[in-house]
Chains A and B, each alone.
Chain A
Amino acid sequence: MNKNTRFWSVLLSGALVMSGGAVADEGLFGYVKGAEPLPKGSWDAEQWFTWRGGKEQGSYNALDTKTEVEYGFTDRFSGSVAFFGLGINTSGLMIDAYLPGDKNYPWRPAGVEAAVKYNYLTPALDDFGLAQYTSLSYFWYDVNSGFRKNVYSFETFLIAQKYYLDGQLVVAANLGIEADSATRQPIQNLPPDFEWPLTPEMEIAITASAGITYRVISNWFIGAEIFYQTEHETVVGQERWSLQAGPTIHYAARDWWVTLTWMPQLVGGGTPYPGQTYNQQLIEKTSQEIRLKIGINF
């Protein structure tokens, strides 16, 4: 093992150890949440890494991190707190009100979240599982531009999950709504005609997602996910929408699990930025996304 390989192996081992744990509320999917409850008294933590890249023009790469710890208060009710980070490297593209210029930093703390989850029905016990997830979050960085922006969000969504073939095949779906209040922070030396409003904005997004995964051999699940999001503003109505879909692979051992999902944007709509030719929502989203989730049980 050469020096470079050893460095990455040590780093990875550290990440696995430090990333906390989870399994009962195991992330079978990268984007779709499951309805399995976390047992009373159990702790569960997850570390997410999401790479977002490609806006057709210029260069855009961003890495979101999420570190979450969840606790089961009862066999049906759990609560979690999460801490977000952002690394970004973008250049060569400016979009009025959204991308005010180049930005490059490896990683910064970007936001926090508190969430609760309640299970009305349990997938393995009832005919299907039904849960509700509700969260409040605060971000002090705009994950799209990497610039300062205060964003307060409230999100709630329903989670349905059903087991087939004794649990070997799992189907899950989420339907939710998110309300954001965002205020951009002043930026010096913007071009005189560049639009960068500093008044608070409200936005509502509706998301619908679904996933199916099959345990091909012990411990290994392979599946696919689809994620639709539509964003609305009071003035313009539906502002933009996007549809992502892709494969997901999941491995679970006794004390930890890992999920890798590739979610390219298949199609999107709404107002494109000037000069955009792709039929995608690229103002706030990217062409490609890859998410790695790691959970460790304790």
Chain B
Amino acid sequence: MRPIPAFVLLPAALVAPAPAYAAEYLTVPQAQQLLFAEADRFVDAAVELSDDQRKAIEDKSGVRQRWKKQAVWRAEKAGQLLGWFIVDEVVGKHEFITYAAGLTPDGKVRGIEILVYRETHGYQVRNPDWRHHFEGKTLADPFKLEQDIPNIAGATLSCKNVTNGVKRLLALQQVVLR
């Protein structure tokens, strides 16, 4: 086999050896336990959204519902519904950010957990101090950076998209999880 010429290898060398830098902080079961510690069962309740439902979610939240399928679990204790556990992905600056939200049956945020974060800046989104700002929020709240959710310099796009994402999940709950 002939050796690959240097002029081919040069551009390839620039881009090919991209290091795997995704930081997977939590698995889905770990996040479920953190958000619903008292639950004894998580029932798969994944939803497939119709175009009308996606439109309704967008109308309620003001945020585009990118995905047609959404990973959802019912968190239960002794057969009683504790809330909804939803895994979502939002656009980060370079890659998707994977996070989970716990929602109460009456439409409040119980908490959020970052599962996978791949960006250069903004690892503070994992800090409890930042994530606590979502607790208790409902769809009636503004969900605006520097208003009811603090911004993290250098990770503004990530903060904004996670904030919008949580608001969208509250709308999704109203539209399909009632």
A residues touching B (Cβ–Cβ < 8 Å)? 1-2, 4-5, 7-9, 12-13, 16, 23-24, 26, 37-40, 42, 75, 122, 124-125, 163, 165-168, 215, 218-219, 251-255, 258, 260, 294, 297
Contacts and interface: CB of A to CB of B under 8 A. Distances in A.
Nearest to A166: B91
B177 interface: no
B9 A5 contact: yes
Interface string B84-108: 0000001111111000000000000
A17 to B, nearest CB: 13
Given A125-B160, A166-B90, A24 B120 contact: yes
A16 B118 CA distance: 21
Interface in B53-106: 64, 66, 90-96
B146 interface: yes
Nearest to A38: B154
Nearest to A8: B6
Contact of B161 (A1, A75, A166): A166
Contacts of B19: 253-255
Contacts of A37: 153
A251 B21 CA distance: 14
A122 B4 contact: no
B64 A218 contact: no
Interface stretch (B10-18, B24-32, B44-52, B128-136): B10-18
A252 B93 CA distance: 9
Given A39-B154, A125-B151, A12 B121 contact: no
Given A124-B160, A166-B91, A219-B95, A254 B21 contact: yes
Interface residues of B, number: 37
Given A24-B154, A218-B94, A255-B19, 15 more contacts: A5-B4, A5-B5, A12-B14, A13-B13, A23-B121, A39-B121, A40-B153, A125-B156, A165-B64, A167-B161, A218-B95, A251-B15, A253-B21, A254-B94, A255-B120
B6 A124 contact: no
Given A166-B161, A255-B21, A124 B120 contact: no
A258 B119 contact: no
B79 to A, nearest CB: 38
Interface in B134-151: 145-146, 151
Contacts of A260: 11
A56 to B, nearest CB: 26
A254 B13 contact: no
B125 interface: no
A125 B149 CA distance: 12
A90 to B, nearest CB: 23
A38 B154 CA distance: 7
Contacts of A297: 120
B9 A8 contact: yes
A170 B165 CA distance: 20
B157 interface: yes
A12 B14 CA distance: 8
